[in-house]
Amino acid sequence: MTRLRVFGSLMLALLRELSDENAYQRYLAAKQREHSAEEWRKFSEARLREKYFRPKCC
Amino acid sequence: MPLMTSEPAARSGKLKRFLGHLIWVLVAIVAAFCLAAIALNRGEHINSAWLVLAAVCTYLVGFRFYARFIARRVMALDNQRATPAERLENGHDFEPTNKWILFGHHFAAIAGPGPLVGPVLAAQFGYLPGTLWIIIGAVVGGAVQDFVILFASMRRDGKSLGQMAREEIGKLGGFVALLTVLLIMIILLAVVALVVVNALAGSPWGTFTIAATMPIALFMGWYLRYWRPGKVLECSAIGFVLVLSAIFAGQWVAQSPAWAPVFTLSPLALAFAITLYGFLASALPVWLLLAPRDYLSTFVKLGVIFLLAAGIVFVRPELELPAFTRFTDGNGPIFAGKIFPFCFITIACGAISGFHSLISSGTTPKMITKEWHAWPVGYGAMLLESFVAVMAMIAACVMHPGVYFAVNSPAGIVGGTPAAAVATISSWGFPVSAAEMQQLAHNVGEQTLFYRTGGAPSLALGMAHIFAHSGGGQAVIGFWYHFAIMFEALFILTVIDAGTRVGRFMLQDVLGHVHPALGRTSWMPGVLMTSSAVVLAWGYFLYQGVRDPLGGINSLWPLFGIANQLLAAIALCVATTILIKMHRARYIWITGLPLLWLVTVTFTAAWQKIFSPVPRIGFLAQARQLQAALESGAVTGAKIAETQALIFNARLDAVVCGVFMILVAIILIDSLRIWAGIFAGSRTSQVVEAPFVLSRLTTEEA
C-alpha cells in the first residue's frame, strides 16, 4: 500500500513537472512572490520562450 | 563472539550475491532464448510475447551490465561531484530533480512520432530485421549515444551539442552541427506532415477530430492565461474530455450527408491546411495555440503508450506478418531498397536517433541531482523509447499481411483501383480481397483503407485491433481507430508547430548576423518573413510528397532517416573525441563502433539514394527515366509540366542528400584530424569540464 502511494505521488509529481506547475512553484519560491494571474503570465512567457527555442524530438 | 555472529551474516551475504548472480544469469538466458526463438522461427505465426520478453530481458542485461560498465569504468560517474543542477541552482532551468521524475520528463521529450512510424514502414521486410535492429541498436548504439552525450553535457554545465562540437572539435564543427539540425528539421517537418495528410485524406471523421483540436487548443490557451492561470493539469483534463467528445462527434459528422463532404479533403487541400497551420502556430503568440496543444499532446502520448503496453501484455496477439517477406530483395512497395542499408535508416528513433542528442544536451543535464542518475535517465529512457518501437512493430504485424500491404502501398505501385490493388498484392503471396478491405473500412468508419501510405493508418489499425481485443470487440474498433489517429495526428502536429517555430528562431539567429533587426524575435516583419521561409521550405517538400505518384514516403522517409542518423554520427564524433580527451582511448570502441556502423549505413544509403541505377531507389536515375519519357514523347498534355516538376524534385532530393553527406564528412574528417593529432602527440588532449566541486546533497536528498 505504501509502495502504491509512493508510485502515485511520483506519477502526480511527474504530471506536475510535465505541466510546468512544479516549475512555477519553484519560480514563485525563488522570487519570493505570491501566485497571481500576472505572475503566471510572466513565468509562462519566459518558460515557453525558452522551451520553443530548442528543437523538438522526432 | 563477534566471529560467531559475523559468520552467518557473511554466509547470508554470499547467498544473496549468489542468488543475485543466478537471477541475472536467468534473465540473460531468457533474453538469448527469446531472441533465438524469434530469429529462428519460420513458417509459423509467433506470439508477440516472444518479442516483448526478448526486448525486456535484453534491455535489463544491457542496462545492468553494459551501461553500468560505461558509467563506472569509462565515464567514472561520481556522486560526490556536484552537478550543474546543484552548483548553478536558480529555481528556473537549473534545478535538482527526483531521478524518476526526470526520467519521465526526459522520456516525454525524446518520444516523438519516429519510433511509431519507422517500425511500421520497416515491417515490409517482415518483423525480424526491424525488431533485431530496434533491440540491439538501442542497447549498443542509441542508448549509449544518449547516455554519453548527457554525461558530457552534465560535466560541461549543460552545454548544447553545438557548443560541445565547437569546443571539442572546432568552430567549423559547431556551425556544421547547427546547419545540419536546420536542414534535418525541414525534411522532418515535411515527412511527418505527409504522414498526417495521408492519414486524414478522404476521412471526414479523422479530419473533423483534428480540426476540432484547434478551437479546443485556443480555448485552453484562453483558459490558462485569463480564467484559471497556472492550472495546466486541470486545463489539460478539460481539453482531453473535449477531444474525446470530438472523436464521438466525428462519427456523426462522417455519417451526416451535409457535413461529411465539408470534412472530406483531398491530400492537396490537407497539405495546404497543415502548411497554413504551421505558419499560424509559428507566428501567433505561443500561449494561444502551441503551448496548450503541447501540454495535451504530452499527456495523451504517455497515456496511450502505457495503454498500448498494457493492451499488448493483456492480449498477447499473434504476429501475422512473417519473419521475412519477399521484399528483402529491395523491391518493397512501401519504399525501395534492400535490408542493408534501408532497414537501418527507416527505423531511426527506436534504435538510434541523432535528435536525442539535442535533448540529452538540453534541459535534462541541468536537472540531474546526482551524476549516477544519468544512468537510468540517459540510458534507461532510450531503452523505453526502443520498447515503444517494438510495440509499434507488433501493432503493424498483427494485421493480415495482405491488409498491411493494401493500406501501405501507393496506387502507383499496386494499381489505381481496389480490384487491381488486391490482384497485385495477392500475386505477391499475401491474399486479400476488395470485400475484406471494404468490410474493414466500414468497421472503422472509413470510406476506404487503400493507399493510406505513411504508416499512421496501419499503426492505428493495429492499435485499434489490440485495444478492441482488450474489451469491447468490433463494436468499439471504429472509436479506437480514430482515437489512435487523433493521438498520432495531435502528436505530429505538435512536432510541426514547435519545429516550425524553432526553425524560425534558428533562421533568425543566422540572419541576425546579416541584418540585426532580422535577428530580433519580437520584430513582426522579421517574424513573418522567417516564419514564411521555414514554412515554405518544408511545405515545398510536403507538396512534393503529396504529388509523388509513388506516395512520397518512398523518397522523403529515407531522406529523413539518413539525416537523423547523420546527426547521430555527429553526436558520436563529439562523444568519441571527449572519450579520447579523457584518456579513455582504450574504450573508444564504445562510441567508435556505433559511429563506424552509422557512417557505413548512412553513407551507403545516401550513395544509393543519389546514384543507384534503379529509378525507385536512385533520385538521379528517376530523373533520367522521367527525362527520357519526356523526350520520347510518351508524356503529353497536362502531364508535361507535372513530369518536369517531378524531375526537378528528384534532382533537388539528390542535392539535399549530397549536402547531408558533405556536412557530416566535414565533421568526420575534422574529428579524425583531432584524434590523429592527440594520438601522435602533436595536439594536447585537454578536457574542458567544469571544475570539481564537492556535492553537499546527500543521496537521501537526491
- For residue B638, give the amino acid letter: A
pLDDT at B1: 44
Is pLDDT above 60 for B4? no
Is pLDDT above 60 for B295? yes
Task: Report the percent of chain B where pLDDT is more than 70.
Answer: 99
State which residues of chain A have pLDDT below 70.
none
B229 and A41: CB-CB below 8 Å? Answer: yes
Domains in chain B: ranges and CATH = 19-203+264-680 (1.20.1740.10)
Cell of B389: 518501437
Residues 6 or more apart whose CB falls under 8 angstroms from that of B647 comprise: B623, B626, B627, B630
B355 and A58: CB-CB below 8 Å? Answer: yes
pLDDT at B5: 57
Distances (CA, A) of B543 to B12, B75, B113, B451, B619: 68, 46, 20, 17, 17
Question: Which residue in this structure is represented by grid cell 534541459?
Answer: B363
CB B671 within 8 A of CB B169: yes
B476 φ/ψ angles, rounded to the nearest 5 degrees: -110, 5
Is pLDDT above 70 for B308? yes
B233 close contact with A: CB closer than 8 A: yes
Distances (CA, A) of B491 to A19, B114, B135: 16, 11, 24
B105 and A17: CB-CB below 8 Å? Answer: yes
Q: How far is B113 from chain A (nearest CA, A)?
A: 6
In 3D space, the residue among B328, B485, B362, B377 whose CA is nearest the CA of residue B97 turns out to be B377
DSSP string, B23-77: HHHHHHHHHHHHHHHHHH--SS-EEHHHHHHHHHHHHHHIIIIIIHHIIIIIS--
Cell of B514: 546579416
For B29-49, how does the pLDDT look when each residue is reduced to its tens digit (9 = 90+)? 999 999 999 999 888 899 999
- How much is the average pLDDT of B117-122? 96
CB-nearest to B236 from A19, A37, A55 is A19
Burial class of residue B368 in the structure, from the number of CB atoms within 10 Å of its CB (0-12 exposed, 13-18 middle, 19+ buried): buried
Distance of CA B250 to the CA centre of its chain: 28
Is pLDDT above 80 for B305? yes
Q: Which of residues 252-291 of B touch A (CB under 8 A)?
A: 286-287, 290-291
A41 and B95: CB-CB below 8 Å? Answer: no
- The interface predicted TM-score (ipTM) is 0.94
**Cα atoms found within 13 Å of the Cα of residue B575, Cβ hemisphere only:** 34
DSSP helix/strand/coil, B97: strand
In 3D space, the residue among B560, B572, B646 whose CA is nearest the CA of residue B606 turns out to be B560
B499 and A55: CB-CB below 8 Å? Answer: yes
Is pLDDT above 50 for B559? yes
Q: How far is B527 from chain A (nearest CA, A)?
A: 14
pLDDT at B577: 96
- For residue B222, give the amino acid letter: W
pLDDT at B549: 84
pLDDT at B699: 60
CA B227/CA B622 separation, integer angstroms: 56
Is pLDDT above 50 for B191? yes
CA B487/CA B440 separation, integer angstroms: 20
B635 φ/ψ angles, rounded to the nearest 5 degrees: -105, 130
CB A54 within 8 A of CB B158: no
Q: Given CA atoms B415, B419, B425, B428 in this order, what sign does their dihedral have?
A: negative
Burial class of residue B367 in the structure, from the number of CB atoms within 10 Å of its CB (0-12 exposed, 13-18 middle, 19+ buried): buried
DSSP helix/strand/coil, B694: strand
Mean predicted lDDT score pLDDT of chain B = 93
Q: What angle do CA B130, B136, B140 make, to 5 degrees?
A: 140
In 3D space, the residue among B212, B255, B145 whose CA is nearest the CA of residue B568 turns out to be B145
- How much is the average pLDDT of B197-216? 95
CA B383/CA B300 separation, integer angstroms: 20
Peptide bond into B341 cis (omega under 30): yes
B556 close contact with A: CB closer than 8 A: no
Q: How far is B313 from chain A (nearest CA, A)?
A: 21
Q: How many CB atoms lie within 10 A of CB B662?
A: 10
Is pLDDT above 90 for B205? yes
Spell out the domain ranges in chain A. 2-51
Is pLDDT above 60 for B282? yes
Which range has the top average pLDDT, B5-9, B536-540, B638-642? B536-540
Beta-sheet strands, E only, within B115-204: none
Which range has the top average pLDDT, B9-18, B497-506, B654-663? B654-663
Residue from A11, A35, A58 to probe the interface with B (highest B Cβ count within 10 Å)? A58
Beta-sheet strands, E only, within B255-361: 318-319
Q: How far is A45 from chain B (nearest CA, A)?
A: 8
